[in-house]
Structure 1
């Protein structure tokens, strides 16, 4: 009986170790489940919006998290999320999945996750049957049980940590300027009328950088007739000039002609810090 105090201390320390490691696993699962399906949208004002399909998982228990993990991160196929986006929004969905090269190994890992739920619940809610401070033999058996659990818990923790490192690498890509360019290109491709206007502004502008709305409209009708005819329903405006004024990517100006009439010009808005105030277009009649 003289060793009982040391046995009690050892049992309590190893119980705490295993429970803390289970909490680390729980936190890892929350990270992976909440970030496994992400929708990034680019609105008309060039502001990206991120939607995490899984929603808030902060209150999920370990068992629920593991079931979600098995249904998402461990699942090779992806189900389209029920995410509503505005008409003027283009987006892309990104899914993070484990690279399962060994199906049998994946099955064993699922079995280990199921074991973890049971083991952790017994530690947290049914440990009193293993806590027999007056029985050295029972306490020694509890220590052996905790020591047998530890490498299995650590192995699960290691696998999940590796996946989180992969996820961080993906997030770095999504946060890069290269990805911003890809997303912007996708946005323009989803709006063919606007893309036709953009292409004309970049390729058909006058030497002073301005181009004619009327010519841009002709090209839009030629390149995207189905989209242009739905302008009111798709973009909420009736005319090409209204469309250009509605989007911050463009600047619009009325040019006064010698006879007092006006014609409408537009150009791509210079990046922040470039271009300054609007440049006055060249005098009418001097540039064709």
Structure 2
């Protein structure tokens, strides 16, 4: 199990990919970090910031000599990119991703596992921001944060260990979930909260904005995230997210009914349940 690599390739050098590159550099865990991106300008920024040592817009050129590949792009394109990467890497090359959904990505890979050259284990670092691009990259982004790995029954344990070691070198803690369990749990903990934040932001009239203080700003912060990126995530986990939205709607209806009925005791009971759930998470 490697704790450093000669060459790590990062496909997508935005917030997550750029932060991974900065963390690798900070820890001396890679001699060379190759960034693969869509534009020379973003790659130049990543290089100036020290997130990568060289960049290319040619995927084949970027991954051919890689000892490990991280794919940190939109969930809608990860599956296709994995197909291309697998055709170009050397046999046995570890590959992981940073997608916020896992079932479709892992299923796509597993359909042709017996023909694969690379050794893929899905990942999802639970770290991020509503900001985007290499300018937002932070070498401490993953420190103390959880990264979920989603191996399947056919995944060799050594492959999982390699990818776990990669994230741990970046400062993260790791845990294992099956792809469907990941998508079910993250619908509650990550995806549906974006819907709630977006709905509140949409429902707030512009004339109220000047009065918006900490509560509104804290609750709606993630609604400032990239709409296209979030549309991809939400549409790739439809069943779990719509189920969670239904639960949220039911909870909202209970609160609304208590308010309409002037039922103070029920309202206090419901707000207490909410407070206890939030308090259990800590600060």
TM-score (norm 2): 0.23
TM-score (norm 1): 0.23
- Bigger Rg, structure 1 or 2: 1
